[in-house]
């Protein structure tokens, strides 16, 4: 717990030292620190990264109760003069693209940090546009419940220069990329992400078999995520179980999802593999269209093909206006998508 608070404090101090003051910001120009918390207390982001860290540092927290609503969140930020928010990609997207976002008072917000999944550069740019006060502090991080939420962080000018990276290891954290045999790989090579730190859990509660599978010699944690290290920075590719193997090619759903979500008529998208007798798997996309907009498969196929390799272009599509199924922290439940009744979607 000391290491957790120390990492949060280190990041706060670094932001305070490196962020340039906003134009016209004199003494008393900004309100005292106030953190909006939209993660539930049963999740590591709500309990450890918010409640524990803020309490230890004497920072005021504002808790949003009930189901997340972007308009209500914007109203709370304005009313409570919130200065910091720990987002997930889904919630950030909903706020940044809320139709009335520019009508709310947003100048108090001066720090924005979060993660849960890679954040598309287009969404990062939109967040800076909507919240100009966070340009020097906007951060993207990576971590797991098993390592107390913190492992890497990319913030401020470095995030602007390397928007697809989740950053460098935090103090006390070591990162390695390993192959299927557990052997460390050189920089630039893709493999499974391993984490070692005092923040790594000791064990799963009353589950020694799962503990032995996750935590190895030297207290190295197997994350189940695939990535690579370049220039000392971690780049995530996908969850190991989400990797699509199509005709001998590795297909990472996140880059297809991010491309689809750049389309002006797409609100959100999820991509996963479906079985194919010859290729092993093919790519399937579930697309939620924006506010009743009309899109067709041909248009979306061309949109993806213009930016990505042919084998990454989905060959199976579902178009819907219903939001994607998500858990309490905003992550898409792809297992639910794989098992839903097809009649719940409009097939095209």
- pLDDT per residue, tens digit, the chain (348 aa), is 555 555 555 555 555 555 554 444 444 467 899 999 998 888 888 898 899 999 999 999 999 988 899 999 999 999 999 999 999 888 898 899 999 999 999 999 999 999 867 788 888 999 999 999 999 999 999 999 999 988 999 999 999 999 999 999 999 999 999 999 999 999 999 999 999 999 999 999 999 999 999 999 999 999 999 999 999 999 998 888 898 989 888 899 999 999 999 999 999 999 999 998 888 899 999 999 988 788 899 999 999 999 999 999 999 999 999 999 988 777 889 989 988 433 333 333
CA separation (Å) from 176 to 44, 221, 228, 230?
23, 10, 9, 12
Q: pTM for the complete prediction?
A: 0.79
Tally Cβ neighbours within 10 Å of residue 310: 8
What CATH code would you report for 2-137?
3.40.50.980
Where are the strands (E) in the chain, listed by range? 34-37, 60-63, 84-88, 111-115, 139-142, 152-155, 168-169, 174-178, 191-196, 221-230, 233-239, 244-246, 249-251, 266-276, 280-289, 316-320
Domain boundaries, the chain: 2-137, 174-240, 243-344
pLDDT tens across 321-345, in order?
Answer: 999 998 877 788 998 998 843 333 3
Q: What is the pLDDT of residue 7?
A: 55
Tell the CATH superfamily of the 174-240 domain.
Luciferase; Domain 3 (2.30.38.10)
pLDDT tens across 189-221, in order?
Answer: 999 999 999 999 999 999 999 999 999 999 999
Encode 22-58: b = buried (16+ Cβ within 10 Å), e = exposed. Answer: eeeeeeeebeebbbbbbbeeebbbbbbbbbbbbeeee
Tell me, yes or no, if the two domains 174-240 and 243-344 fold the same way. Answer: no
Distance of CA 78 to the CA centre of its chain: 24
**Cβ(73)–Cβ(79) below 8 Å:** no
What CATH code would you report for 243-344?
3.30.300.30
How many residues are given for the chain?
A: 348
């Amino acid at each position: 717990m000391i290491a957790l608070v120390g990492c949060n404090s280190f990041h706060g101090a670094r932001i305070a030292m490196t962020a340039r003051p906003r134009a016209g910001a004199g003494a008393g120009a900004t309100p005292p620190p106030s953190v909006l918390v939209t993660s539930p207390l049963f999740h590591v982001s709500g309990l450890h990264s918010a409640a524990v860290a803020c309490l230890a540092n004497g920072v005021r927290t504002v808790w949003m109760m009930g189901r997340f609503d972007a308009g209500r969140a914007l109203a709370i930020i304005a009313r409570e003069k919130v200065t910091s928010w720990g987002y997930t990609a889904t919630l950030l997207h909903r706020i940044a693209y809320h139709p009335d976002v520019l009508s709310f008072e947003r100048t108090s917000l001066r720090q924005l940090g979060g993660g849960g999944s890679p954040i598309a550069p287009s969404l990062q740019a939109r967040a800076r546009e909507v919240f100009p006060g966070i340009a020097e502090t906007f951060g993207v991080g990576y971590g797991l419940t098993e390592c107390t939420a913190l492992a890497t962080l990319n913030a401020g000018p470095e995030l602007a220069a390397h928007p697809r990276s989740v950053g460098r290891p935090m103090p006390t954290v070591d990162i390695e990329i390993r192959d299927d045999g557990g052997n460390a790989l050189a920089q630039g090579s893709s493999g499974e992400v391993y984490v070692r730190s005092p923040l790594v859990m000791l064990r799963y509660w009353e589950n020694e078999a799962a503990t032995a599978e996750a935590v190895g010699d030297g207290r190295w944690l197997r994350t189940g995520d695939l990535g690579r290290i370049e220039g000392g920075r971690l780049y995530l590719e996908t969850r190991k179980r989400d990797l699509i193997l199509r005709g001998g090619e590795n297909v990472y759903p996140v880059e297809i999802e991010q491309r689809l979500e750049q389309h002006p008529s797409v609100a959100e998208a999820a991509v996963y593999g479906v079985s194919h007798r010859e290729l092993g798997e093919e790519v399937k996309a579930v697309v939620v269209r924006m506010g009743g907009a009309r899109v067709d498969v041909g248009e979306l196929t061309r949109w993806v093909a213009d930016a990505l390799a042919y084998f990454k272009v989905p060959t199976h599509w579902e178009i819907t206006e219903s939001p994607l199924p998500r858990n309490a922290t905003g992550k898409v439940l792809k297992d639910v998508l794989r098992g839903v009744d097809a009649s719940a979607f409009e097939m095209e």
